[in-house]
């Protein structure tokens, strides 16, 4: 059976939309009519899933956080997991999420466990998520597990939004600056060039300005193609393992970026650790699973080395002290947690303090970037305008 998305009207004239399973489009329409609905649009999932540019959409972090939070609420209310998945699927779930829920629902109907079903979708659910669900099924506290995962996913979603929003303003300023320079060299300076015809001994900066304008007009098609190709090349490169590995290494060498990367990875690692320890997972296994939350391969390698040392009999604090994730203050918290046996609370505290630290860093960087980008734009565009004015003055001096 295929999955269809539909839009329809009920008997009272109200709009209704959702998803349903049917053998074909005609069968889907027949089902809607049996439900006393007047369909206005019925699409196969594969058609609805395509974006404007023809690429298939995927389950986003927001979708996963929505699914996890809803499942936690439904399970807490006493709804069975299979019934809860069907309820969410019939709501306004996005096509990609609806397809995921259909696959999981089919696996549950076959008698498979929820943890086994989500493991079939490793591109959506990471190992930490899958293992926590497996532990929740074994202990019978799936609702609490989903609640903890929802909190973690909500922070990751907010973190993603903050990073994007902190970069949005500087990027807008930068593109406005580029467009301004493009406009000046393509429209303003060519109109002024008539003023300099027949004038000998022009200043060097005037020659540079006129030559640059002439070059941009002559090769602007190739320049535009080059810019577009560079953007697509960068997007393609960010998906290549070799480029990702190179950038991850470079990011740890740039002081400002290094601080942000380590803080983000510390949050991911410790929030995962807190959930695993709370679920009763042994510390060495918890560290190994939580290492999957770390995106930077260099930092992940350090954590895996620490895990192997702990597994071999080393104490927790000395092993983690040798990694880049924990500065001295957090090491002292780890020592307290290890001695008191309350590691769950310590990991939560480290994650919370790191969140506050990153939020402060983001605010400082945003506050600093705004005036810097304005100065950059003013200096760049203003420099071109000053050269234009000096060139005009030089004509008068030559004429005198």
Q: Report whether 149 contacts 275 (CB < 8 A).
A: yes
With bands split at pLDDT 50, 70 and 90, how would you rate the model's confidence at 305? very high
With bands split at pLDDT 50, 70 and 90, how would you rate the model's confidence at 398? low
With bands split at pLDDT 50, 70 and 90, how would you rate the model's confidence at 396? low
| pLDDT at residue number 262 | 92
Whole-angstrom Cα distance, residue 291 to residue 294?
5
Q: Report whether 166 contacts 153 (CB < 8 A).
A: no
- Does the pLDDT value for residue 319 go beyond 70? yes
| pLDDT at residue number 301 | 92
User: H or E stretch including 38?
Assistant: strand 38-44
Whole-angstrom Cα distance, residue 81 to residue 370?
48
With bands split at pLDDT 50, 70 and 90, how would you rate the model's confidence at 229? very high
| pLDDT at residue number 339 | 86
With bands split at pLDDT 50, 70 and 90, how would you rate the model's confidence at 121? confident
Q: What's the pLDDT tens digit per position in 128-159?
A: 788 888 888 877 788 888 888 888 888 778 87
Q: Which of 289, 260, 270, 37 is nearest to 159 (CA)?
A: 260
Q: What's the pLDDT tens digit per position in 187-220?
A: 888 887 777 776 667 778 878 888 888 888 888 7
Q: Which of 299, 197, 314, 204 is nearest to 251 (CA)?
A: 299
CATH 3.10.20 fits 2-48, yes or no: yes
Q: Which residues have a Cβ under 8 Å from the Cβ of 359 and sit 6 or more positions away?
A: 162
Q: Which CATH class is domain 61-155?
A: mainly alpha
Superfamily name with CATH number, domain 169-400: Type II secretion system (T2SS), domain F (1.20.81.30)
With bands split at pLDDT 50, 70 and 90, how would you rate the model's confidence at 358? confident
- Three-class SS state of 324: coil
Where do the domains of the chain lie? 2-48, 61-155, 169-400
| Core vs surface per residue 140-151: b (16+ CB within 10 A) or e | ebbbbbbbbbbb
Sheet holding 38-44, edge to edge: 15-22, 2-9, 38-44
Whole-angstrom Cα distance, residue 370 to residue 169?
7
DSSP 56: B
- Does the pLDDT value for residue 4 go beyond 80? no
Q: Are strands 38-44 and 2-9 parallel, antiparallel or unpaired?
A: antiparallel
Could you give the count of Cα atoms lying within 13 Å of 92 in the half-sphere of its Cβ? 4
Whole-angstrom Cα distance, residue 270 to residue 287?
9
Q: Which of 286, 259, 276 is nearest to 152 (CA)?
A: 276
Q: Do 2-48 and 61-155 fold alike per CATH?
A: no
Q: Exposed (0-12), middle (13-18) or buried (19+): which is 162, by Cβ within 10 Å?
A: middle
Q: Which residues have a Cβ under 8 Å from the Cβ of 74 and sit 6 or more positions away?
A: 83, 84, 87, 88
Average pLDDT of the chain to the nearest whole number: 82
Q: What is the pTM of this model?
A: 0.71
For 255, other C-beta atoms within 10 Å of its C-beta total 7
Q: Which residues have a Cβ under 8 Å from the Cβ of 279 and sit 6 or more positions away?
A: 132, 135, 136, 139, 145
């Amino acid at each position: 059976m295929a999955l269809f998305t539909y839009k329809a009207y009920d008997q009272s004239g109200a709009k209704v939309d959702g998803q349903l399973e049917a053998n074909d489009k005609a069968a889907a329409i027949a089902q809607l009519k049996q439900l006393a609905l007047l369909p206005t649009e019925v699409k196969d999932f594969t058609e609805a899933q395509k974006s404007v540019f023809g690429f298939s959409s995927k389950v986003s972090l927001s979708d996963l956080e929505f699914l996890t939070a809803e499942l936690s609420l439904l399970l807490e209310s006493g709804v069975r997991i299979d019934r809860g998945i069907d309820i969410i699927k019939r709501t306004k779930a996005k096509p990609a999420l609806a397809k995921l829920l259909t696959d999981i629902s089919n696996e549950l109907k076959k008698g498979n466990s929820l943890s086994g079903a989500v493991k079939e979708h490793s591109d959506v659910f990471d190992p930490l998520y899958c293992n926590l669900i497996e532990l929740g099924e074994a202990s019978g506290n799936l609702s609490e597990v989903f609640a903890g995962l929802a909190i973690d996913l909500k922070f990751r979603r907010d973190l993603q939004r903050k990073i994007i929003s902190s970069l949005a303003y500087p990027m807008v300023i930068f593109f406005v600056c580029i467009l301004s320079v493009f406009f000046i060299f393509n429209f303003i300076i060519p109109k002024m060039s008539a003023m300099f015809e027949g004038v000998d001994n022009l200043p060097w900066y005037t020659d540079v300005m006129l030559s640059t304008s002439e070059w941009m007009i002559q090769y602007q098609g190739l320049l535009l193609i080059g810019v577009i190709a560079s953007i697509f090349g960068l997007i393609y490169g960010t998906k290549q393992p070799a480029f990702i590995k190179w950038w991850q290494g470079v990011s740890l060498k740039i002081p400002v970026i290094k601080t942000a990367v380590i803080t983000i990875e510390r949050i991911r690692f410790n929030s995962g650790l807190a959930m695993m320890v709370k679920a009763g997972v042994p510390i060495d296994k918890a560290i190994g699973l939580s290492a999957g939350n770390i995106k930077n391969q260099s930092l992940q390698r350090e954590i895996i080395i620490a895990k192997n040392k702990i597994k071999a009999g080393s104490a927790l604090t000395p092993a983690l002290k040798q990694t880049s994730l924990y500065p001295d203050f957090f090491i002292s918290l780890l020592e307290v947690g290890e001695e008191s046996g309350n590691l769950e609370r310590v990991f939560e505290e480290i994650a919370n303090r790191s969140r506050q630290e990153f939020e402060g860093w983001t605010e400082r960087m945003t506050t600093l970037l705004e005036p810097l980008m304005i100065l950059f734009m003013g200096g760049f565009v203003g420099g071109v305008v000053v050269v234009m004015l000096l060139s005009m003055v030089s004509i008068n001096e030559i004429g005198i």
